[in-house]
Structure 1
Amino acid sequence: MSEWRDLRREASFRGVPFWVDSDSVPVGRRTQLHEYPKRDQPLVEDMGRRTREYKFVGFIIGADFISQRDRLLAALDQPGPGELVHPWFGRLTVTAGDCDIAHARNELGMVRFNLTFIDGMLMFPVQRVNTRRQLAAHVPTLLESAKARFDAAMAKVDLARQRVNAVRRALSSAYAFAINFLKPLTSLAGDLGALVQSVINAPGALAASLLSDIASVERWFSGYGSSGSLQSSRSRARAISALSAEPPVADDPEVAAIQAAVIGLVQDAALVDLLLDMVEVPVASVQSVDQPAALSVQLEQDGSTVEAGSVMDTGVPVADDILALRDAISEAMWAIAGDSLPEHFGVLSDARLALDRHLTEVARSGVWLRPYQPRTTVSSLVLAHRLYGDALRSAEIVSRNAIRHPGFVPATELQVAKS
């Protein structure tokens, strides 16, 4: 059978079919010709791709042509873009332009028309809240509040009478957390003994330097996937929450107060570090096409191509992961707020709301996961092609489900992207 017979589709607009006698569409580039005196060659200025207007000369015929005509008229009068099924170009999103319909006395039971559909749609600018900037605006206030919280706690302690060994035991857990998650602290206090001396001799300078160094760290976003910036953020948030549950290690109330103050400072610093990392997380920009035509017959309406690859590799977040990260950080903020004075509690609450808004927007721009269980053991390439029509997304399935060998995906429940 001829290829064109396989590719041809029945024409319709917004689901209303019609017959086509002929069609045309202008293609090419818009140009502006500049001619200059005493020059043989003109300057041709490229003004962009021509607007594609799909024009049809066709008809509707049959015993019910009146009702079919009225349905087509209603579809043409409806404002906004709609789906056009073109006989040769497939499914397109277009806006109805100037059209006319004519009846003839010698063509009873039939209506002829000339239809014009414009590639594109009228879109008005829509104001969107910059959630990243809103979250970043809360960081300076949080830094000041964290410094004030630590200074107020340490002001109640008589540091001159404290024993180094007792303070050392009390701060061991906080230092162990810091060397894993707060690199600036290790530069300020190379070991636990140096941290104890800084707390006893110059607590205010230690807090100011730590928070300042945290805020000045250069940051960048390296992706949503397993090798990206978000990989360790969830574990850091859980560690912050676990640090709040540390029991006092000394019976001396002043040593216990020092322990609580330093743990609070380390938690606040780690939280600021997390929030600044979240400020760098962008809301993904995703364009999708519902029921696209075959690539061999579909016009590339936007003039660009989409590279094949996994969801994570192409810069699209997994909504489930983002929401889990949001909840983990929010829980850590609640854990800190529970041990805070009302002033610091209010600052943390405002920052938490800004964080929730931002990460919720990031999640909305991503894809969701769904459970899927293959019937038999299958190669990840075959499974990716079966699910998405794209074998190159096999790495996504392997990394998401920790598959040991990509050639043998077991017949167990997997987590895969919905699209």
Structure 2
Amino acid sequence: MSEWRDRKQGASFRGVPFWLDTDSVNVGRRTQVHEYPQRDQPYVEDLGRRTRQYKFSGFVVGDDCLTQRDKLLTALDTPGAGELVHPWFGRLTVTAGDCEVSHVRNEQGMVRFSMVFIDGMLAFPVQSANTRRLLAEQSPGLLESAKGRFDDAMGKVDLARQRISAVRSAVSSAYAFGIGLLKPFSSVVADLDAFVYSILNAPGALSSSLLGGIMGGERTFSGYGADGSFSGSSAKASAVSTLQASAPVTDNEDVATIQAAVIGLVQDAALLDLLQDMAQVPIAVNAGVSDPADLDVQLAQQGATVEAGSSVETTIPVADDVLDARDAISDALWSVAGDSQPEHFGVLSGVRLALDRHLTEVARSGVGLRTYAPIETVSSLVLAHALYGDALRSGEIVTRNRVRHPGFVPATELQVAKA
């Protein structure tokens, strides 16, 4: 069979079919010819590809030709771009230009159209909120509110009359949480005894040092993968939610007040730490008509930075991971807010809203997961090349599915990215 028969498609616009007599399209380049005195050859300046206009002479025919005409007129009059099925060029996104409809006396049952469709719609930039920056702007308010909440609670207790051993037992779980999950904690207090000493003798200095150390720490975006910025975020958020419930019970009212204040301070510090981490996560820049910008350019557009020589993963985020982290941190914020005074509740609610907006946008720019089961045991390199055309993504499959050996991916159900 001939190629033109194989490739021919029925013409239509916005799903409304029509018959075709002739078609043409202007091609080539836009140029500006510069001619100079005493020069035989001009300078031809290339101004880009010509705007393609697909011109059709077509018709609709049949007993219901007027109904067909009205449908096609509606499609031509509809504002914005639509899909044109060209018999030889295939499916195109175009905008209807100058079109004409005509009726001929001796062609009853037929309505003729002269149509022009313009290719290449240039999209205008759309204003959108910088959710990363809006999230980062929540940090100073959270710091001040957390410090104020702790100082107010500690101000209600006569610290000089408290037994060190009782306070030590009451705040031990908060200390263990801070040492395990908050990097600045060990630099603020050397051990549990020093922690208790700071609580009883200089609570204001303790809160300022801890919150200031978290706020002032240098952070950079470390990628979307297993070792990136989302690593451990869900676990830390879950620990924040359970910290109050895991604290030892005390009968002393003053010690209970100190315990609640210290746990609240550590929780707020952890939430501030998570907020700072999530504020460094950029929205992935999706590839458009042209090639995507380099990663450092993409991150600069989102306000993030990349250290020289760093091995930041260039893959786009997995939406499931982002949404899991978003929900875990959101739940932690909600659990802490529920035990807070109205002023602090309002601050945490604002943080929660900004976090949900930002991480939702990050997830929207990523890809989802799907289940895939190879028919036989294969190497992760082979599997990555078969799924994505990129063998370098083998580590992604191995890490997510905890494959013991990258050379032998088992023939079981795996979680892989959709693209």
- Alignment TM class, shorter chain as reference: 0.7 to 0.9
- Give the secondary structure class of the aligned counterpart of 2:137: helix
- Give the secondary structure class of the aligned counterpart of 1:116: strand
Write the deviation string for residues 141-171 of structure 1: whole angstroms up to 9, x where unpaired: 2111111111122223344455555544443
Distance 1:191 1:83 in 2: 68
Segment of structure 1 superposing worse, 390-399 or 17-26: 390-399
- Give the secondary structure class of the aligned counterpart of 2:350: helix
What's 2:357 paired with?
357
Distance 2:258 2:9 in 1: 77
Write the deviation string for residues 243-276 of structure 1: whole angstroms up to 9, x where unpaired: 1213236555444433332222111111011112
Q: 1:148 is aligned with what amino acid?
A: G
Distance 2:188 2:40 in 1: 72
What's 1:246 paired with?
246
Distance 1:187 1:39 in 2: 77
What's 1:186 paired with?
186
Write the deviation string for residues 83-104 of structure 1: whole angstroms up to 9, x where unpaired: 1122333222111111224455
Distance 2:360 2:222 in 1: 19
The alignment status of 1:410 with 2:411, answered yes or no, reads yes
Q: 1:197 is aligned with what amino acid?
A: Y
Distance 1:383 1:3 in 2: 36
Write the deviation string for residues 353-383 of structure 1: whole angstroms up to 9, x where unpaired: 332333334444444445x465954757898
Distance 1:303 1:331, change over 3 A: closer
Kept in 2: contact 1:14–1:83 (CA 8 A): yes
Distance 2:293 2:107 in 1: 48
Distance 1:226 1:261, change over 3 A: same
What's 2:218 paired with?
218
What's 1:295 paired with?
none
Matches for 1:19-418 after TM superposition, within 5 Å = 19-33=19-33, 47-61=47-61, 65-104=65-104, 110-121=110-121, 127-162=127-162, 164-248=164-248, 252-286=252-286, 302-304=289-291, 316-369=316-369, 372=371, 374=373, 376-377=375-376, 390-392=388-390, 395=394, 399-404=399-404, 408-412=409-413, 414-415=414-415
- Give the secondary structure class of the aligned counterpart of 1:183: coil
- Give the secondary structure class of the aligned counterpart of 1:245: helix
Number of matched residues? 398
Distance 1:228 1:175 in 2: 26
Segment of structure 1 superposing worse, 134-143 or 154-163: 154-163
- Give the secondary structure class of the aligned counterpart of 2:75: helix
Kept in 1: contact 2:372–2:416 (CA 8 A): no
Distance 2:204 2:408 in 1: 58
Distance 2:216 2:21 in 1: 68
Segment of structure 1 superposing worse, 88-97 or 141-150: 88-97
Distance 1:39 1:57, change over 3 A: same
- Give the secondary structure class of the aligned counterpart of 1:219: coil
What's 2:301 paired with?
none
Distance 1:26 1:197 in 2: 83
In the TM superposition, residue 352 of structure 1 has moved relative to its aligned partner by: 2.0
Distance 1:178 1:70, change over 3 A: same
Kept in 1: contact 2:170–2:247 (CA 8 A): no
Distance 2:292 2:108 in 1: 47
Distance 2:235 2:128 in 1: 31
Kept in 2: contact 1:368–1:418 (CA 8 A): yes
In the TM superposition, residue 14 of structure 1 has moved relative to its aligned partner by: 1.4
* Structure 1 length-normalised TM: 0.77
In the TM superposition, residue 105 of structure 1 has moved relative to its aligned partner by: 5.5
Kept in 1: contact 2:229–2:278 (CA 8 A): no
- Give the secondary structure class of the aligned counterpart of 1:277: helix
Kept in 2: contact 1:80–1:122 (CA 8 A): no
In the TM superposition, residue 55 of structure 1 has moved relative to its aligned partner by: 2.5
Distance 1:199 1:40, change over 3 A: farther
Distance 1:305 1:42, change over 3 A: farther
Q: 1:53 is aligned with what amino acid?
A: Q
Distance 2:135 2:292 in 1: 34
Distance 1:72 1:149, change over 3 A: same
* Structure 2 length-normalised TM: 0.77
Identity of aligned residues (%): 64
Which ranges of structure 1 fall in alignment gaps of 5 or more residues?
Answer: 289-301
Kept in 1: contact 2:54–2:118 (CA 8 A): yes
What's 1:292 paired with?
none
Q: 2:154 is aligned with what amino acid?
A: M
Distance 2:330 2:339 in 1: 15
Kept in 1: contact 2:169–2:248 (CA 8 A): no
In the TM superposition, residue 8 of structure 1 has moved relative to its aligned partner by: 3.8
Distance 2:342 2:418 in 1: 44
In the TM superposition, residue 236 of structure 1 has moved relative to its aligned partner by: 1.2
Distance 1:45 1:218 in 2: 50
Kept in 2: contact 1:248–1:256 (CA 8 A): no
Write the deviation string for residues 205-225 of structure 1: whole angstroms up to 9, x where unpaired: 221122122122233334433
- Give the secondary structure class of the aligned counterpart of 2:231: coil
Which ranges of structure 2 fall in alignment gaps of 5 or more residues?
Answer: 295-311
